[in-house]
């Protein structure tokens, strides 16, 4: 009696502990099942991408798990020989500049919102918050027309600009909130040293915001890397990223599995690496931006 109170543990019967143990075991079993459920689709894609077309047409991919001799890289080598690499590089050329531009432009605006005073500042920021949820569909037709006039329809530059514009509200929102949390004493110190606004922004505030910039960067990168709709409208065949290249093969899904499976897998490899390497920032960014 006394021991149990001092230990703070409620006295439990043997039966109660057995029930707990079984309950815990049940929870674990259920979670394992769910985990398998979540893994199997991706695993299936991977295995399918490693099998010959004829094998995929005759038996399910899971039968190959017991006979790894069936595995071959043929689909991958065929795919790379077919010019898929060009769309891979297009994806890179779209994603990297977009990410850098969004970070740079948004950081400047966020600095102004957080640390400068100007008339209409708060109202303007509310506009940014409002723009967070604007569907990109609204801009497809007008911007397509605009690009036609300017002559960048179909180009990588057009795709990048569109992504940058629609990435900005989230980026400004995220960075402003982070910038505003930087202790003002640091800025005062810099101002006392006679630093101008640009200098304070680039040497004090921006470097301090590395975690937020990392969150934003990874988010923006994945978002653009994985986009299909913008590319579908604004990129021509020559400049199309992987998502659009794959989409054009979907019409004959059955006969094109040997292109689609390795292509889809290649397209998700880099996001997955980034995700596992930076998942902390990914989660932080997601939480900071969950109003979106």
Site for another protein in 164-203 (CB under 8 A): 164-166, 168-169, 172, 174, 177-178, 180-184, 187-188, 191-192, 194, 197, 201
* Dist CA 255 CA 266 (whole Å): 19
Q: How far is the CB of 251 from another protein (least distance, A)?
A: 6
Q: Which residues, including other chains, have CB under 8 Å from residue 223's CB and lie 6 or more apart?
A: 163, 167
Is 290 a binding residue for another protein by CB under 8 A? The answer is yes
CB atoms within 10 A of CB 100: 15
Q: How far is the CB of 202 from another protein (least distance, A)?
A: 11
| 235 DSSP β-pair partners | 154
Residues 41-70 that bind another protein (CB under 8 A): 41-42, 44-45, 48, 56-57, 59-62
CB atoms within 10 A of CB 175: 28
Is 96 a binding residue for another protein by CB under 8 A? The answer is no
* Dist CA 115 CA 118 (whole Å): 10
Is 216 a binding residue for another protein by CB under 8 A? The answer is no
Is 75 a binding residue for another protein by CB under 8 A? The answer is no
Residues 236-275 that bind another protein (CB under 8 A): 242-243, 246-247, 250-251, 253, 257, 260-261, 263-265, 267-268, 271-272, 274-275
* Dist CA 15 CA 138 (whole Å): 62
Stretch that binds another protein, among 64-72, 73-81, 92-100, 133-141 (CB under 8 A): 133-141
Q: Which residues, including other chains, have CB under 8 Å from residue 116's CB and lie 6 or more apart?
A: 197
Nearer to another protein, 68 or 119 (CB): 119
Q: How far is the CB of 97 from another protein (least distance, A)?
A: 14
* Dist CA 42 CA 258 (whole Å): 16
Of the residues 3, 123, 149, 151, which one makes contact with another protein according to CB under 8 A = 123
Residues 199-213, buried b or exposed e (16+ Cβ, 10 A)?
ebbeebbbebbeebb
Residues 7-46 that bind another protein (CB under 8 A): 10, 24, 27-28, 30-31, 34-35, 38-42, 44-45
* Dist CA 97 CA 103 (whole Å): 10
Nearer to another protein, 76 or 162 (CB): 162
Of the residues 76, 206, 225, 281, which one makes contact with another protein according to CB under 8 A = 225
Is 109 a binding residue for another protein by CB under 8 A? The answer is yes
* Dist CA 266 CA 76 (whole Å): 9
């Amino acid at each position: 009696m006394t021991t149990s109170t001092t230990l703070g543990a409620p006295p439990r019967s043997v039966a109660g502990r057995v029930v707990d143990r079984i309950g815990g075991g049940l929870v674990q079993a259920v979670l394992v099942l769910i985990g398998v459920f979540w893994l199997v689709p991706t695993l299936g894609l991977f295995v399918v991408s490693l099998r010959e077309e004829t094998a995929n047409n005759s038996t399910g991919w899971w039968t190959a798990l017991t006979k790894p001799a069936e595995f071959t890289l043929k689909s991958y080598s065929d795919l790379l020989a077919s010019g898929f690499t060009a769309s891979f590089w297009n994806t890179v050329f779209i994603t990297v500049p977009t990410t850098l531009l969004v970070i740079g432009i948004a950081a400047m605006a966020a600095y102004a919102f957080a640390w400068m005073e100007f008339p209409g500042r708060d109202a303007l920021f509310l506009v940014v918050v409002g723009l967070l949820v604007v569907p990109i569909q609204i801009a497809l037709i007008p911007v397509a027309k605009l690009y036609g006039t300017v002559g960048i329809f179909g180009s990588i530059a057009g795709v990048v600009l569109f992504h940058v514009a629609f990435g900005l509200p989230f980026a400004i929102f995220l960075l402003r909130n982070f910038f505003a949390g930087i202790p003002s004493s640091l800025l005062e110190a810099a101002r006392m040293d006679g630093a101008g606004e640009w200098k304070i922004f680039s040497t004090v505030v921006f470097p301090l915001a590395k975690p937020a910039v990392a969150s934003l960067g990874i988010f923006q990168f994945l978002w653009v890397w994985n986009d299909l709709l913008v590319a579908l409208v604004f990129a021509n065949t020559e400049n199309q990223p992987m998502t659009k290249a794959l989409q054009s093969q979907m019409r004959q899904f059955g006969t094109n599995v040997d292109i689609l499976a390795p292509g889809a897998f290649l397209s998700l490899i880099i996001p997955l690496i980034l995700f596992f390497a930076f998942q902390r920032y990914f989660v932080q960014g997601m939480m900071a931006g969950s109003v979106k």
